[in-house]
Amino acid sequence: MPNILVTGAKGQLGSEIKELSSCSDATFFFTDADALDITDKKAIESFIETNQIDVIINCAAYTAVDKAEENEDLADKVNQQAVKYLAEVSKERDIKFIHVSTDYVFDGKNYKPYIEDDVTNPPSVYGKTKLDGEKALFKVAAKNSIIIRTSWVYSSFGANFVKTMLKYGKERDELRVIYDQVGTPTYARDLAKAILDIIPQLDNEKPEVYHYSNEGVLSWYDFAKEIMKMAKIKCNIVPIETYEYPLPAPRPHYSLLNKSKIKKTFNITIPFWKDSLSECLIKMGERS
C-alpha cells in the first residue's frame, strides 16, 4: 500500500481527505506549513526520504485572492515555487503527484464550459501565480503527475461561502449577493473522493490537466438562495452586479468547467451540486 503525503492538510480539501483516509489501506502523512515547508526543497527531500513517500497530493496554496494583489511574492512562493520543488522531487524519485489548481487561471470571458486546453488568461495575481505553478509542473515534466483545476470550493471544514451565508443569513434580514458571476460549486469531499479514486489509476508519461467541480451551473446568487432554502433560514437574498461589490482582485464572470475528460479517463461519476450541498448541510447539522 502506498505512503501518501498530503500538503495543506488543514485546509478544506486536505481535511476532507484526512477524514476519508480512515477507509483507505494507504498510509497518510498530513502536513501543514508548520510540519513541512514546501518552499524549501531540501525539507521536501528529507521528508520524502524519511517517510518513503509514493504519492504527493498538493492541497497547499496561497488562496487569499484579494491579499495576493499586494503580496505577490508570497503568493508566488507558495503557488509556483513550491509546486516546482514538489514536481522536481516527484520526478527524481518517481513519485505520483496530484496538484490542485483553480478556475481563476481563466479570464471568465468564455461562452461555453472551459476545457483543459482553452487559453488561460488570469486577471488576478492569485490566478497568475496558480497558472505559473501549472507551468512549472509542465516544465519539470514529471510522469504520473496531474493538475486538477476546481472552482468555488466549500466544505464543513474551514471558511467558505456556505458558512458565510449561514452565519449572516441568521443574523440579518437581507443579504446582497452577486448574480453575474456564473460557475459551479465544488464540495471538497466529492473532490477528495475523486482524488483517492484517481491515485491507483495514474499512468501518464507527461503531466495532464483535468477539470473537476460538481455538476450543474448557477450564480453566487442562486447558490445563496438554495443555501437559505435548504437550511430554512428566512433571509431575503437580493441580486446585485459585480460592480456593486468592488474587491481588489477581479473575479471571472464565467468559470464553468467542462468535466468530460476526468469522467472519461478515470470513470468518475460527479454529483449534482444541490445533492452535494444538501449532504454538506446535513453533516454540519444545518439540515435535517
Q: Which residues are catalytic?
A: 126
Distance CA 238, CA 130 (A): 32
CB distance 179 to 36 below 8 Å:
no
Give dist(CA 103, CA 149) in Å, integer: 6
Is the distance from CB of 45 to CB of 85 less than 8 angstroms? no
Q: Which residues of 240-266 are buried (b: 16+ CB within 10 A; e: fewer)?
A: beeeeeeeebbbbbbbbbebebbbeeb
Cα separation, 95 vs 54, whole angstroms: 5
SS3 78: helix
